[in-house]
Amino acid sequence: MKVTVVGAGAVGATCADNIARLALCEELVLLDIKEGIAEGKAIDMMQTSALLGFDTKITGSTNDYTKTANSDIAVITSGLPRKPGMTREELIGINAGIVKGVAENILKHSPNAIIIIISNPMDTMTYLALQATGLPKNRIIGMGGALDSARFKYYLSTAIGCSPNDLQGFVAGGHGDTTMIPLTRLATYQGAPVSNYLDEAALKKVAADTMVGGATLTGLLGTSAWYAPGAACAAMVKSIVRDEKKLFTCCVKLDGEYGQKDICIGVPVTLGKNGWEKIIDYKLNEEEQAAFNKSADAVRSMNSVLATL
C-alpha cells in the first residue's frame, strides 16, 4: 500500500505523521512545491520511527510527481490556508488552479488512486476535482464533514461532561461556517439522545460553536487548524486501507440522494477499499431538509465561481 500527501504544510504533514504512526501503508510520499520542505519533514518524521515503533518509509519530494507513482490513495492539501477574516469562498480563485493541476499530475502516475480533498473551499474543490479528472464518483472524497463531526462531538462532550468517544454525532451539508448542519436531533450519548442531557438552548449553543469551530481556531492561531484536520483525514485513510466500512460524513457527488443532484456536499457515507461505497439516508425531518437545501444552494453559488475562472 502506498499513500501520497500533496502539500507539506501543517495539515499535510500532520496527516502524513498520523498515517505513518498508524502504519497504514508501506510507503508514504510527502510532496510540496517549496524546495526542501517535504524532504525535511519526511526526514524529521522518519527519525521518530525508532521511538514510536512504525516501519512506514516516508519520502519527501519537491514537486517530483514521478515519486508518487502507483499510489493507492492521494491526499490533496495544496493551496493557501484561510487567513483571519478570509472566507472559504475567497479562496476559490487561488486554489482552483492548484487543485486541478495536482489532481491531474497525481493521476498521470497513479491512474487508480482514490483522491481525498482537504483544500478549501473543500466542497467546491471536491466538485472541481471530480469534473476535471472524470474519475468515478466513489474515488473523489472531500474530508470536511469528518472534521466538522469531530468538532461537533468535542463541543457536545464539553457540554455534557463526557468522553467524546462515547458520542455519536454527525454534521451534514457544506464545509462552511454558515452551511454546515450539526444534526443535534440524531446525536446520541451511549445510545440515548443527547437531548436527554442537554436542553434546547444548550444544544443550540453546541451547534453554533460547531459551525464557527474553524473560524474560532483561525482567530486564535492566525491560520487554519491542523491537528484535527490531519487526524480526520488519517481516520478516513485508515477506513479505506483496512476496508473498515466505517461511517463518516464526507463530501461526495449526489445524484438524487437527499434531494440534490450535480453537487458535492457532506452526507453520511461508508468508507472502504473502493473509496466511498454507500450513502446512508438519515431521513431528515422537514426543518433539517430545508437547512440542507439551503446549504446546497450556497455550495452551488460557490461552484458557480468556477465558470468565471
Catalytic-labelled residue, pool 82, 139, 175, 253 = 175
Using CA atoms, how far apart are residues 271 and 279, in angstroms rounded to an integer? 10
Q: Where are the alpha helices (DSSP H) in the chain?
A: 10-21, 37-46, 49-52, 92-109, 122-133, 144-160, 200-211, 213-221, 227-241, 286-303
Q: State how far the alpha carbon of 31 is from the alpha carbons of 75, 93, 187, in Å.
A: 10, 22, 38
305 exposure class (CB count in 10 Å sphere: 0-12, 13-18, 19+): middle
265 torsion bin: left (phi>0), alpha (psi -120 to 50), beta (else):
beta
Cα angle vertex 22, ends 17, 23, to 5°? Answer: 95
Look up 109 and say whether it is catalytic: no
C-alpha dihedral (224, 272, 255, 178), degrees to nearest 10: -20
Residue partners of 175: CB distance under 8 A and separation at least 6: 88, 120, 121, 122, 123, 142, 144, 145, 147, 148, 251, 266
Cell output for 276: 466511498
Using CA atoms, how far apart are residues 169 and 188, in angstroms rounded to an integer? 7
Which residues are the active-site residues?
Answer: 175
